[in-house]
Amino acid sequence: MARSTPEVRPISSPSTVSCRFLPEDRAVEAEVGTTILDAAHANDIPVETVCAGKGTCGTCRVLVRDAEVPEPTPHDKRRLAIAQLAGGWRLACQHPVDAGAVYSHPLGIRAVRVVESAGLGRISLDPNIQKIYVKPSPPSLHDPRADWSLVQDELAAAAGDLDPTRDALSRLGAIGEEISQGVTVVIAGNRVISVERGDTTGVAYGLAFDIGTTTVVGALMDLTTGQEVAVASDINGQHIYGGDVISRMSATMRGPEFVERLHRAILDTVRGITTRCLEAADVRPDRVYEATFVGNTVMTHLLLGIDPSRISYSPFAPTTVDPVSLRASELDLPVLPSAWVWVAPAVASYVGGDIVGVMLSTNLGRRRGTTLVIDVGTNGEIVLAHQRRLFATAAPAGPAFEGAEITRGMRAAPGAIERVRITSNSVGVDVIGGGEPEGICGSGLVDAVAELLRVGAVLPSGRLLSGDEMEKALPGLADRVRPDDTGGEFVLTGDPASPEESIALHAQDIRRLQLAKGSIRCGTNVLLREAGLQPSDLDRVLLAGAFGAYIDPAQALAIGLLPPVPEEAVEAIGNAAGHGARMCLLSLTSRVRATDLPGHVHYVELSAVPDFQDQFGDAMGFPASDQAASND
Q: Given the rule CB under 6 A, which of 57-65, 108-116, 522-530, 622-630 is the region that contacts ligand FES? A: 57-65
* Choices 50-58, 130-138, 199-207, 343-351; region in contact with ligand FES by CB under 6 A: 50-58
**Which region, judged by CB under 6 A, interacts with ligand FES, from 19-27, 48-56, 410-418, 621-629?**
48-56
Least distance to ligand FES from the beta carbon of 172, Å?
Answer: 53
Find the shortest distance in angstroms from Cβ 185 to ligand FES.
Answer: 52
Rounded to whole angstroms, how far apart are CA atoms 581 and 343? 9
Q: Which of residues 65-94 bind ligand FES (CB under 6 A)?
A: 79, 91, 93
Residue span 166-195 as binding mask against ligand FES, x where in contact by CB under 6 A, dash where not: ------------------------------
Give min distance, CB of 253 to ligand FES, in A: 18
Spatial distance between the Cα atoms of 392 and 605, rounded to a whole number of angstroms: 9
Binder among 60, 364, 449, 531 for ligand FES (CB under 6 A): 60
Residue 135: how many other CB atoms lie within 10 Å = 12
Tell me the C-alpha distance between 30 and 11, whole Å.
11
Site string for ligand FES, 92-131 (x = CB under 6 A): -x--------------------------------------
What is the distance between the alpha carbons of residues 509 and 149, in angstroms, rounded to a whole number?
70
Distance between CA 72 and CA 90 in Å, rounded?
Answer: 7
Looking only at residues 24 through 43 of this chain, which bind ligand FES when binding is defined by CB under 6 A?
37
Specify the stretch interacting with ligand FES by CB under 6 A; choose among 49-57, 305-313, 339-347, 356-364: 49-57
> Smallest distance, Å, CB 245 to ligand FES?
16
Candidates 51-59, 169-177, 293-301, 333-341: pick the segment binding ligand FES (CB under 6 A): 51-59
> How many other C-beta atoms lie within 10 A of the C-beta of residue 611?
11
In sequence order, which ranges of 474-587 are alpha helices (DSSP H)? 507-530, 545-550, 553-558, 576-586
Min. distance of Cβ 472 from ligand FES in angstroms?
38
Helices 245-252 & 256-281 angle (0-180, nearest 10): 130
Stretch of 54-62, 171-179, 450-458, 597-605 lying at the interface with ligand FES (CB under 6 A): 54-62
Query: Residues 6 or more apart from 12 whose CB is under 8 A from it?
Result: none
Regarding 49 and contact with ligand FES (CB under 6 A), the answer is yes
**Side-chain half-sphere CA neighbours of 214 within 13 A:** 23
Among 19, 51, 457, 556, binds ligand FES (CB under 6 A): 51
Residues 349-388, mask of contacts with ligand FES (x by CB under 6 A): ----------------------------------------
Q: Distance (Å, rounded) from C-alpha 62 to C-alpha 227?
A: 43
CA dihedral 73, 75, 78, 84 (to 10 degrees): -60
- Report 533-592 residues binding ligand FES (CB under 6 A): none
CB 150 within 8 A of CB 169: no
291 binds ligand FES (CB under 6 A): no
Q: Which stretch binds ligand FES (CB under 6 A): 45-53, 151-159, 345-353, 371-379?
A: 45-53
Provide the minimum distance between the beta carbon of 509 and ligand FES in the complex, in angstroms, as a whole number. 16
Q: Which is nearer to ligand FES, 79 or 419 (CB)?
A: 79
How remote is the C-alpha of 336 from its chain's centroid? Answer: 28
Q: Report whether 540 contacts 569 (CB < 8 A).
A: yes
Q: Does 55 help bind ligand FES (rule: CB under 6 A)?
A: yes
Q: With CA atoms as reference, report the closest residue to 392 among 307, 300, 297.
A: 297
Using CA atoms, how far apart are residues 512 and 399, in angstroms rounded to an integer? Answer: 9
Give how far Cα 117 sits from Cα of 194, 220, 228, 580, 601, Å: 33, 15, 13, 10, 23
Which residues of the chain form contacts with ligand FES (CB under 6 A)?
A: 37, 49-51, 53-60, 79, 91, 93
